[in-house]
Amino acid sequence: MTDTHVHDGGAHAEGKLWGGRFTGASAPALERLSRSPEQYFSLVPEDVAGSLAHAGELERAGIITGEERASIAAALEQLVVDHREGAIRPLPQDEDVHGYLERELIARLGPLGGKIRAGRSRNDQTANDLRLHLRRVIPEIAEGVRELTETLLARSREVEGVVAPGFTHLQNAQPILFSQQLLAHAFPLARDLTRLENARLACMASPLGAAAMAGSTLAGDQRAMAADMGYDDVVRNSIDAVSSRDHVVDFLYAGAMLGADLSRLCEEICLWSSQQFGWARLDDAWSTGSSIMPQKKNPDIAELARGKTGRLIANLSGMLATLKSLPFAYNRDLSEDKHYVFDTAGTLRTILPALTGLVRTVGFDAGAMRRQAVQGFTLATEIADWLAEQGLPFSEAHDVAGRSVVHCEARDIGLEDLTAEDLRAIDERLTPEVLERLTLESAVARRTGANGTSPERVREQQAALADLLEASRSASQNGRSPQ
């Protein structure tokens, strides 16, 4: 559209759902601002689903005959096909998907096409379209999350028995099973699945029938319309139906939190694949090279996904900022909602398969992990714990173990290299029995508390995660709206 492009005012301006009370034409700058972004026009199936339900209601209300409803329905269904196949497309003067489809419907059915508008408004239509859209995309995203989580679980099972250093403050802390570290990324993703599912449930009440905001004098059976569209409830208050977008925020939050969780995994993959760590070898198909340094193999997928977390968070905070202080019912500000939803959904759909492929194919170096697992005196807690078991107050035990570290540092050896003689020199309470505690296997195997790193506990964690994934899969197939 150019600056010189001005449409006639008046009720018959094509693609515009208003105009009768205007005598002058719209300013091009207004039209540019008001026109929906291109992607909004992709909500054709959702808008048609709402129109089909609404046509049914108009028939029940006696506004159109059964025959008229059938013709309208057939034409609407054809519009979905024609739009999908590219036989029709939005024109520059179509303000939004609602105007686009009505223009096409009138072109096909003549004045009958104009009957569909009775008893509804774009305010309830747009609210309905986005809820239907979220009901479709959330399960798709959840499936991507489940695939990644399942891949982490499979890799966790594959590296059974591999010991690695566990970290706090990015400093070696205590030995762990690497399979547990992988699960530490999988469990948050399982919770993200719950968040996504909650967001989907929040979309399960229909706003259709609220019309502009007060409800309609013509069409009143919102329950029947809701059922036609597969909702399990109706939004109780018509003003709330057109003005609230907290379900959108629920989705954007689930997306932002998922992004933050993914970014933590990504960050570790970057570290694991660094020369300093040397834990991971990226597969050729899932890594990239450098234009100048021939030796390079970069974890671009992990970096790109980590970077996109910024967008996911921005979409959440942007939507909240849009919603803040909006008065009364519908305000045009709300048309920003789709922008955020499309961006978050598109971002996640791009990230998830790439990350899943990366995780599925990355090679792990168990030897490097094991060598590093003792570095930084990670067995020091074993000495302190053993002394505590012998009855020493932990404050003293801690001190003795600390002096053991100093002893080793001075000799450039590790705690695992200590001899009975060394122990005696450090403290007479350190008898040779402590030596059998100073192995990686012992440190890991003794952490048998319910959520610990011992092999049997990690196997339980794997089984628990598998159950969560199973539950998530069946939950996404049903569930009621919390409304």
- Record the tokens describing residue 34, joined without a space: 């008001």
90 token code pair: 């939005």
Q: Is 169 a catalytic residue?
A: yes
Query: Which of residues 126 and 222 has its CB atom nearest to ligand ARG in the complex?
Result: 126
Cα–Cα distance for residue pair 210/219, rounded to 1 Å: 9
Place of tokens 């094509």: 14
Which span (118-126, 179-187, 298-306, 441-449) binds ligand ARG, by CB under 6 A? 118-126
Site string for ligand ARG, 249-268 (x = CB under 6 A): --------------------
Q: Which of 26, 36, 51, 273 binds ligand ARG (CB under 6 A)?
A: 36
Q: Which listed residue (198, 298, 335, 476) binds ligand ARG by CB under 6 A?
A: 335
Taking the complex as a whole, the smallest distance from the CB of residue 298 to ligand ARG amounts, in Å, to 40
Nearest-approach distance from CB 61 to ligand ARG, in angstroms = 22
Catalytic residue (choose from 5, 12, 274, 290): 290
Question: Closest approach of Cβ 54 to ligand ARG, in Å?
Answer: 16
Residue 338 sits at the vertex; the CA angle it makes with 479 and 85, to the nearest 5 degrees, is 90
Instruction: Decide: is 453 part of the binding site for ligand ARG (CB under 6 A).
Output: no
Nearer Cβ to ligand ARG (37/310): 37
Residues 59-88 that bind ligand ARG (CB under 6 A): none
Task: Please check whether residue 56 is in contact with residue 219, taking contact to mean a CB–CB distance below 8 angstroms.
Answer: no
Question: Bridge-partner residues for 167, per DSSP?
Answer: 172
Considering only 223, 332, 349, 371, the residue that binds ligand ARG (CB under 6 A) is 332
Q: Which is nearer to ligand ARG, 96 or 228 (CB)?
A: 96
Q: In this structure, are residues 211 and 238 in contact, taking their beta carbons and an 8 Å threshold?
A: yes
- Nearest one of 301, 275, 274, 273 to 287, comparing CA atoms: 301
How many residues sit close enough to ligand ARG to count as binding (CB under 6 A)?
9
Full DSSP string of 216-244: -SS---HHHHHHHTT-SEE-S-HHHHHH-
Q: Which of 31, 59, 96, 102 binds ligand ARG (CB under 6 A)?
A: 96
Contact with ligand ARG (CB under 6 A): which of 26, 51, 126, 372?
126
What is the closest distance, in whole angstroms, from the C-beta atom of residue 17 to ligand ARG in the complex?
A: 8
Phi/psi at 165 (nearest 5 deg)? -70, 140
Q: Is 122 a binder of ligand ARG (CB under 6 A)?
A: yes
Closest residue (Cβ) to ligand ARG? 335
Q: Which of 123, 179, 309, 453 binds ligand ARG (CB under 6 A)?
A: 123
Q: What CA–CA distance (Å, rounded) separates 117 from 47?
A: 12
Count of beta carbons in the 10 Å neighbourhood of residue 358: 26
Active site residue 247: no
42 makes contact with ligand ARG (CB under 6 A)? no
Is 316 exposed, middle or buried, given 0-12, 13-18 or 19+ CB atoms closer than 10 A?
buried
Determine the interface stretch with ligand ARG among 63-71, 82-90, 122-130, 342-350 (rule: CB under 6 A): 122-130
Q: Shortest approach of ligand ARG to residue 453 CB, angstroms?
A: 51
Strand 171-177 vs strand 163-168: parallel, antiparallel, or unpaired? antiparallel
Confirm if 242 and 271 have CB atoms less than 8 A apart.
no
**What is the distance between the alpha carbons of residues 179 and 158, in angstroms, rounded to a whole number?**
8
Query: Strands (DSSP E) along 266-332, which ranges?
Result: 280-281
- The C-alpha angle with vertex 383 and arms to 382 and 389, in degrees rounded to 5, equals 90
The footprint of ligand ARG (CB under 6 A) covers: 36, 40, 96, 122-123, 126, 332, 334-335
Give the residue numbers annotated as catalytic, written as ranges. Answer: 169, 290
